[in-house]
Each structure stands twice: as structure tokens, then as C-alpha cells.
Amino acid sequence: MTNLALKSVLHGCRRYLPVGIAVGVSGLMMVVQAALAMGAFSLSAAPVRLSQADLWIGPADAMSLDESRGLSQLAVGRLWLDPDIVRIEAYMSPPFVTIGEDEDAGEIGFIVALQLGDDTMLLARAIPAALRQRLADPGTIILDRTDARKLGVAVGDRLRVSGQSLRVVALAEGVQAMFGTQIIASELTARDLGQGAGSEPAFYLARLRPGADPQAVAARLENVTPLPEYRVWLPGDLAAQTVRSWALGSGAGTLFVASSAIALVITLMVVSQTLGAAVASAMREYAALRAYGISFRAVQWIVTKQGLYVCVAALVLTAVASMLVLWVLHQRGVASELPLPLAGAVSVALVLTVVISNLVALRRLRRADPASLLR
């Protein structure tokens, strides 16, 4: 079967360029915006993702890692009694510090305190035991590689933090904070900087004995009377909930939906105009097909297929351009992340936009009156 739709698209590809540009630009905008936002939000859950805990225990009313008002050791006393829990570690909310010579005008930073033992759970995936040992000397810190580049410091350099001079002993990957600079130090160094003074841990990390079922242990810890003051999270759930909380609570989700909607409406207008113009330019040919006896539905299908071919080509271009941009961002150390469902949602939105545009363009086909060729 002669594929008129495909041949027309290939032959008149310049005519369809505005569709590619409109779909590509709006797709790229949505993908990059979503990837940057999700990348930034995912940093909020970095302590969870980069730790090697089997369970996280926080206050019952805390809906994310950042919302804890603190939880006393007394409230979680049951953890020490559970036979499946072999190690418990406190996670303190990272306190603010200022970085730079001028304490009033310095950059904002946060101190994350690590225990220096071999089986420390917090940030263990990013900072293994060997690296952690470099923090043994008081006044030493580890920075994220991107943060260090931003601050212009390297290993061996000294950094002024809240009035104290600290020495950078190592750089790590992926331990950026969403805002400001994350400074990783030993508990001793952190205490000197004021961390933990009079405050309760925000969460507790728990490691289970090998073979124990985290879900079963979580259920056992929660299903007690009276209702406990704590809530037990699986790490994946806490990370996802923390990201979700930022995405929805910060207004970024609304901003993304609103700007995407505007981009899609503009795309709809451009694409429907372009496809409509393509239909109009071939009106005499379509009318001739109708005169020959080819059904209106068959001619509609030709036009629909043209739109779909253009849509597929535009989506492929968008995907290639998006991957390129995300790769460049990644190379430059910019946190970006595009979960598959979000990428799928962007693709579906673009496909729907082109399909609706095509339906608008198809209305013009009604003017393909074969009798008009005989006037």
C-alpha cells in the first residue's frame, strides 16, 4: 500500500518544522523544569537514600525528613527492646551555620554529624568507613564535590564556618543539600559548631539483624498500645514522602503544572495551525481522492497518520534534546532527576496535544468537496 501520509511528511518536512519546534521546545521546557525540580527535591531525601538503615523512626506527625520537631530517646525506648534491631543511630536536624569570613554576610550551610564507627549507617553509601576516618581529627570536614567547586576550595584548604577554621579532608559525590552547602563532620566537630546542644534527634536510624523483615518489624513496632509517639518508615517510603512533600508543599508542583499548561496551549495553537495549513494546501488532492470514490474516513485516516508521524518525529527529537540537556546538567554537577512516570506524563501530554491539534486540523478536511473540482 502506498503510504501517502509518510511520503507527504517526508517530502514536506520543512512544512512541518513548526510542529517539531513547538513540541520540542515545550517538551524540553517541561522535561528540564521537572528534572531540575525533582533533582532539587530529591536532595531533600539524600540523607535517607545515601544511608544504610533498614528503618527510619520519626515523630508520628512528621510527614517528611524536614518536619520533625524531635523525638526523645524515652519515646523510642521500645526500639532497644526489639530483638530484630541490632543498631540504632540518631539523626539530628542539621543546624544552620554561616560560611565565610564575614559571619553576617556568609553563605548558609548545614552541619551533618557522623559517628566514626565502622558500622555507621548515616550517609554510609556516599561516605564509606575509610573516608569517614579522615574526620577523626577535630576541625576536619568533608564537602560535596560540586559545593567545593562553588566555594572554590579543594582538599587541604581551610574553610571558615561560623567563625571557626575547618580543614577540608575529602570530597564526596551526591551529598549536596537542596539549599546551601552541606558540611559533613564528626560528632565532635559538629558539637564544637553548636550542633545538638539541647535538642532531641529528629529521626532514628535502625539496622535489623540479617534476615529480618523490615515491614514486619515496622508493623510490630507501630501496633502497640497505647499508640506510640513515633512512626516507623521504610527508607524508600520516607524518601518518596519527603520529595512529595517538597514538590507539593513548596508550590513548585503548581508552578510546573501551570507553566506546562501554558506551554501546551501554545503548542496546541501552533501545531493545529501548521497541520491545518498542511491539510489546506492539499485540499484539491484530497477532494480528488473523494471524487475517485475513496471514503471520507479513509482520507481522514491519511491526515491523522500524517499528524501521528509528525508527532512521533517531534517526540524523538524532544527525547534526544532532553537527554542531551540532562547529560550536560549532570556533567556540570547540577542535581537533576526525571522519574519514568513523570517522563511518561510529559510524553502523554505532548501526544495528546498533537492528537487534539490534529482533530482540529481534520475539521478543515470537511471542505474537501469533490464537486468543487468541477466548477
Partner 1 sequence: MKHDIDLHVLSGTGLSKSFGKGAKAVQILQGLDISLPRGALSLVKGPSGCGKSTLLAILAGLTAPDAGRVDALGQDLWSLRPPARDAFRLRHMGFVFQGSILFPALRAHEQIELVLNYMGIAPKAARDRAMTALEDVGLGPRADLRPDALSGGEKQRVAIACALAKAPEIIFADEPTSALDTENSDLVSRHLRRLASDHGVTVICVTHDDRLSPWADRIYHMRAGRIDRIQTEVT
Which phi and psi (to 5°) does residue 58 adopt? -135, 180
Residue pair 166/158 in contact (Cβ under 8 Å)? The answer is: yes
Q: β-pairing, 164-172 with 140-144?
A: parallel
331 binds partner 1 (CB under 8 A): no
Measured from the CB atom, is 13 or 60 closer to partner 1? 13
In this chain, which of 69, 158, 209, 284 binds partner 1, going by CB under 8 A?
284
Q: What are phi and psi of 191, to 5 degrees?
A: -65, -40
Is 367 near partner 1 (CB under 8 A)?
Answer: no
Q: Which of 21, 291, 325, 343 binds partner 1 (CB under 8 A)?
A: 291
Out of 240, 288, 321, 325, name the contact with partner 1 by CB under 8 A.
Answer: 288
Residue (187 or 285) nearer to partner 1, CB: 285
Amino acid, res. 363: R
- Residue 91, exposed/middle/buried by CB under 10 A (0-12, 13-18, 19+)? buried
Backbone phi, psi, residue 114, to 5° = -115, 140
Q: Nearer to partner 1 by C-beta: 31 or 289?
A: 289
Contacting partner 1 (CB under 8 A), which of 152, 211, 226, 293?
293
Residue with Cβ nearer partner 1 (73 or 295): 295
CA 278 – CA 15 distance, rounded (Å): 7
- Mark the segment that binds partner 1 (CB under 8 A) among 31-39, 82-90, 151-159, 286-294: 286-294
Amino acid at 292: Y
| Among 73, 215, 254, 295, interactor with partner 1 by CB under 8 A | 295
Question: Can you tell me which of 2, 165, 223, 331 binds partner 1, judged by CB under 8 A?
Answer: 2
Q: Which is nearer to partner 1, 135 or 282 (CB)?
A: 282
Counting contacts by CB under 8 A, is residue 225 touching partner 1? no
Report phi then psi at 136, rounded to 5. Answer: -60, -35
- Smallest gap from residue 285 Cβ to partner 1 (A): 5
What is the C-alpha to C-alpha distance for residues 309 and 354, in angstroms, rounded to an integer? Answer: 10
| Gap between the Cα atoms of 321 and 20, Å rounded | 12
> Could you report how far apart the first and last alpha carbons of the chain are, in Å?
31
Binding of partner 1 by 7 (CB under 8 A): yes
**Contact positions vs partner 1 (CB under 8 A):** 1-2, 4, 7-8, 10-12, 282, 284-285, 287-296, 298, 370-371, 373-375
